[in-house]
Structure 1
Amino acid sequence: MESDNSEDEALEMERMRRELRDDARKKVFRQHLTMRIDLAARECAEQRKAYLASAEDLLMTAHGMGLFELVAWNRLATEYKRHGMLTQVLHILRRVQALGEPGCPDVITFNIAIDALGKAQQFHLATECFQEMQAAEVKPTINTFTSLIDAAGKVCDIPAALGLLQLAMDSHVHPNVCTFTSLITACMNATDFDAGLVVLRHMHSYVHGPSREDPSEYFVPYNAFLIRAGRTGDVDKMSAVLDEMIKIARLSPPVSTFVFAVESCNVVGRHDLAWLAFEQMLLVC
């Protein structure tokens, strides 16, 4: 019996030593990876590319030693995305897929790729990446849908952007303020004020429905609509949205918003609406 206990203790001690060695290896690995990525952030484009490539070499070496950390691969992909290196972002996605580790790539890996494609105005490729994500049974997050909506907006595909919002809600993924702001911005870039109004009203009903976010955060998309409408001279819609912000959404715009509204109305000779905005400012501010 004592012999058995001694063997168990020896095995436990060996397991603990192995874990300590693994932890030490991971610590050194993370330090080297962080150093290379930090150096890349400070260098010129050519040197940056070399440092990031060396970081990938380090990740592959670690994988060959049985050490795989998806968070490290995702960090490298994020750094590539930050510097607009789309080809390398997609390369990391494919590399992680090829390594064949369980649960990889994850939603973060896909989100990085989708966002990078969207920022490069590659909406078609972003949707293909999303379909690939679905085929892999990786559940999308609101960040996934927000990036896709933003990508659709960059190519002024408003029907697709609206469809993505609906798909998010059908998938029980709750939109947040960033989602609505991306959608409103998309509508404004396409000067589709009617669609923008529909989104604003849908947002308002959603805020008072399943969303628990602070309604005041939704000032940003309202203000985006108001500014775009004012700059294009559609002061009737601008005035309607300002009124809706105050009376329905119960938001309190700052003085600068009212000043912008008054000036926009005066520029196109709508002094009646300018006076209305001034009166609203006196009541709210």
Structure 2
Amino acid sequence: MKVLVPVKRVIDYNVKVRVKADGSGVDLANVKMSMNPFDEIAVEEAIRLKEAGVASEVIAVSIGVKQAQETLRTALAMGADRAILIVATDDVHTDIEPLAVAKLLKAVIDAEEPGLVLAGKQAIDNDMNATGQMLAALTGWAQATFASEVRIEGEHAVVTREVDGGLQTIKVALPAIVTVDLRLNEPRYASLPNIMKAKKKPIDEKTPADYGVDVTPRLNVLKTVEPAARQAGIKVSSVDELIAKLKDEAGVL
């Protein structure tokens, strides 16, 4: 069984994001980029399935700028077998929208015929949390989102999901789309020998035109602003004072 893992190049989670002075977007000049943390967890899970003899091949795919090769090399160094890069834009500030990404992934699925797609539940740059669900709709496959545990049992995947009320375990028929949460696993660090080996692993470069997909943006970003500064808290001397402030000042009661 092939496992397909989409990975995205994003601003490293340790970097403080800065908004451009003119509000036209996020400043990416001299900013460290890395693999989306949720996608890294998905790659790790796919590799573990291969090590367990469940998966026969792990294929990483990235959609965006040519520099995403670095992200794919990270996935290959972790243990993915090969990679596909779909160069959809030359501008690092252009974010390919979830529907376009889902259509491209659907085309890759049609070509590769994987038995399972493991994806991060969301990207930390736009937090849309939509691509996995859209891909499931386009393929007609079963989906399991926010996975904190994944087991393959024959022709089914047993997935434990993190939901508002706690944990939910479901069984879905394969092939399926599974989006993973933070507590699924702890991604490994790529060893130096594997990093060297990754340089020789194949990356197949494609364009949206190769798959007949239009990635023209459907949304226009009018302005980007930083979140409002958090106001300092206050201390109250009694429960009555707290209730009064919540009612009269905060307006939440």
TM-score class, shorter: under 0.3
Greater RCO, 1 or 2 (C-alpha within 8 Å, sep 6+):
2
Q: Normalized against structure 2, the TM-score is what?
A: 0.25
Q: Which has more radius of gyration? A: 1
Q: Normalized against structure 1, the TM-score is what?
A: 0.23
Structure (1 or 2) with the greater helix fraction: 1
